Amino acid sequence: MKYQYQIRVSPEEAANQHKLKQAVSRHGGIAKKDITYVNVLKRSIDARQKDIKINLKVDVYVKEAFTEEKIYLPDYQNIENKEEIIIIGAGPAGLFAALRCIELGFKPIIIERGKDVRTRRRDLKALNIEHIVNEDSNYCFGEGGAGTYSDGKLYTRSKKRGDVDRILKLLVGFGATSEIMVESHPHIGTNKLPAIIADIRELILNCGGEVLFDTRMTDILVLNNEVTGIKTLKGETINSKKIILATGHSARDIFELLHRKNVKIEAKAFALGVRVEHPQELIDQIQYKCDSRGEFLPPSPYSIVKQIGGRGMYSFCMCPGGIIAPCATAPGEVVTNGWSPSKRDQPTANSGIVVELRLSDFKNAEGNPLAAMEFQKQIEQKAWLEGGSTQKVPAQRLVDFIRGKVSANLPVTSYKPGVTSTDLGEVFPDFIHKTLQGGFKEFNKSMRGFLTNEAVVHAPESRTSSPVRIPRDPYTFEHVQIKGLYPCGEGAGYAGGIISAAIDGERCAEKCVESLQQS
């Protein structure tokens, strides 16, 4: 027999099958000897009180053997000779669009400006050590997109966007741990993601799809408001009546191209701020209300949202046990973001702390669709100058930041290219700087001890979401003006994060196929 329970247990009980059986026996009044296995379906940590509890949804097998349910990939067919759909970008949106095309019997051809996931590592090394930014291969561009060398957090605030479990199952099918189906805040980790991405590519190729690396799209060919193909930097023309445009939020050249060609795009509000780094131990002490978190709890995350002078200020993409990464996509700018290995075992925790921006913050946002992007770019370029015109970022100790005082010295942080002690008031417009200063004090009210000079603020965290929207029809998903063009994923303004980008990729593929089947 199998019973399902929701139970609250200690971290130690949650981590040990023997103790878990004891807890279930107590909870359900079942003799422990009759319990063959307790299978955890969902797990979340409740750290609101000092006595931390783990909430579990479990299947309890009583006098019945447990067999693990295998997750299988869909039956992907050979589509080598089928009708082609061009997908620009091999990020989560582009890759999941390609997989869905194959499932539906169409041949995806992915055009990717960057390199395959393994070769891409060399460019990341050059960025971290030699401060060289390759405009086609960096933390945002290349196979797997911006999500590849990330924390791989797999939750989305918006469940409305689609079937999250379907994407998680596909990731498990491609080699991710099945734990991601269980955790309330699942993550994969930078060390595990590349192999999953490579397996997705291998499947696409084995089914007869194509993936063209080192191939930057430079033009979208349009005749009578209908797509006819694309041009690449290598000078090739690829004809196609269907193009899924999944180039991400950092492809400024794509936004500029669309604007030049009078293809309708709109300025979009986003959030911008800093990335703050604390010792992970300190975050654990604050969040778990303890001296040391012990062996049964993971490095703690945190999440804070505040209203400061009528503006939202919140933590973004928090990476427990993680590293701050240089995420510039062009020379002459600096950008920060964060990643963690699967074990989240680095000594520091980092998080974006960002201020909500509005269209009215950008000069002439009504008349200039690139206004938000230009605002973002200016801050990144200012930070580059203040940091010393390399990939070093301007930084300040947190308490000094609040007092507006240049730090006399800075500790070594996880940001490999290095930090330059600067008054960050020089980098940001006054309203962002003041909101951040006031907001950090408020954060300290929610997390006592957060405000410490052990913490270092790095600037800027500026690629939180796209500064441009590429508007599409809500039913057909085609661009509002150009037939056959499917703006997709985060760059188009329809996703934020790995999961929602993957979901949007699938939906764009479905809409594109629907239209081909009707024509």
Ligand X SMILES: Cc1cc2nc3c(=O)[nH]c(=O)nc-3n(C[C@H](O)[C@H](O)[C@H](O)COP(=O)(O)OP(=O)(O)OC[C@H]3O[C@@H](n4cnc5c(N)ncnc54)[C@H](O)[C@@H]3O)c2cc1C
Helix (H, G, I), strand (E, B) or coil at 325: strand
Instruction: Identify residues 188-217 at the interface with ligand X (CB under 6 A).
Output: 216-217
Instruction: Identify residues 425-484 at the interface with ligand X (CB under 6 A).
Output: none
| Contacting range for ligand X; rule: CB under 6 A; set: 219-227, 248-256, 426-434, 451-459 | 248-256
By CB under 6 A, name the one of 87, 402, 501, 508 that touches ligand X: 501
Task: Provide the β-strand partners of residue 339.
Answer: 323
- 202: part of which helix (H) or strand (E)? helix 193-206
- Please tell me the distance from the alpha carbon of residue 429 to that of residue 462, in angstroms, as a whole number: 13
Tokens of 425: 């008031």
Identity of the residue, 94 or 369, whose beta carbon is nearer to ligand X in the bound complex: 94
| Contacting range for ligand X; rule: CB under 6 A; set: 110-118, 122-130, 259-267, 270-278 | 110-118
Instruction: Identify residues 131-160 at the interface with ligand X (CB under 6 A).
Output: 139-142, 145-147, 149-153
Q: CB of 151: closest distance to ligand X in angstroms?
A: 3
The reply on whether position 91 binds ligand X by CB under 6 A is yes
The reply on whether position 90 binds ligand X by CB under 6 A is yes
Helix (H, G, I), strand (E, B) or coil at 185: coil
By CB under 6 A, name the one of 248, 273, 369, 394 that touches ligand X: 248
By CB under 6 A, name the one of 24, 93, 357, 393 that touches ligand X: 93
Q: CB of 2: closest distance to ligand X in angstroms?
A: 34
CA 324 to chain centre: 14
Please work out the total of residues on this chain that contact ligand X, with binding judged by CB under 6 A: 44
Contact, 276 vs 350, CB < 8 A? Answer: yes
By CB under 6 A, name the one of 114, 352, 418, 493 that touches ligand X: 114
The reply on whether position 113 binds ligand X by CB under 6 A is yes
The reply on whether position 489 binds ligand X by CB under 6 A is yes
The reply on whether position 104 binds ligand X by CB under 6 A is no
By CB under 6 A, name the one of 104, 111, 176, 424 that touches ligand X: 111
Task: Provide the β-strand partners of residue 61.
Answer: 2, 37
Instruction: Identify residues 323-362 at the interface with ligand X (CB under 6 A).
Output: 325, 327, 337, 339
Length of the chain: 519
The reply on whether position 112 binds ligand X by CB under 6 A is yes
Identity of the residue, 152 or 369, whose beta carbon is nearer to ligand X in the bound complex: 152
The reply on whether position 317 binds ligand X by CB under 6 A is yes
369 CB burial (10 A radius; 0-12, 13-18, 19+): buried
The reply on whether position 247 binds ligand X by CB under 6 A is yes
Identity of the residue, 89 or 387, whose beta carbon is nearer to ligand X in the bound complex: 89
Identity of the residue, 394 or 489, whose beta carbon is nearer to ligand X in the bound complex: 489
Single-letter code of the amino acid located at 459: A
Phi, psi dihedral angles at 167 (to 5 degrees)? -65, -40
Identity of the residue, 148 or 407, whose beta carbon is nearer to ligand X in the bound complex: 148
Q: CB of 140: closest distance to ligand X in angstroms?
A: 5
- Please tell me the distance from the alpha carbon of residue 150 to that of residue 322, in angstroms, as a whole number: 10
Q: CB of 91: closest distance to ligand X in angstroms?
A: 2
Q: CB of 7: closest distance to ligand X in angstroms?
A: 29
What are the residues whose beta carbons fall under 8 Å from the beta carbon of 49, sequence distance 6 or more?
Answer: 289
Residue 226 to residues 1, 471, 473, 479: CA-CA distances in angstroms? 60, 15, 15, 10
H helical segments located in 135-232:
164-173, 193-206
> Among 61, 112, 105, which residue's Cα sits nearest to residue 232?
112
Cα–Cα–Cα angle for 22, 27, 32, nearest 5°?
35
- Please tell me the distance from the alpha carbon of residue 221 to that of residue 127, in angstroms, as a whole number: 34
Other residues' Cβ atoms within 10 Å of the Cβ of residue 426: 14
- 378: part of which helix (H) or strand (E)? helix 371-387
Q: CB of 415: closest distance to ligand X in angstroms?
A: 12
- Please tell me the distance from the alpha carbon of residue 69 to that of residue 55, in angstroms, as a whole number: 22
Q: Which residues of this protein are in contact with ligand X, per CB under 6 A?
A: 88-94, 111-114, 139-142, 145-147, 149-153, 216-217, 246-248, 251, 254, 317, 325, 327, 337, 339, 489-491, 495-499, 501
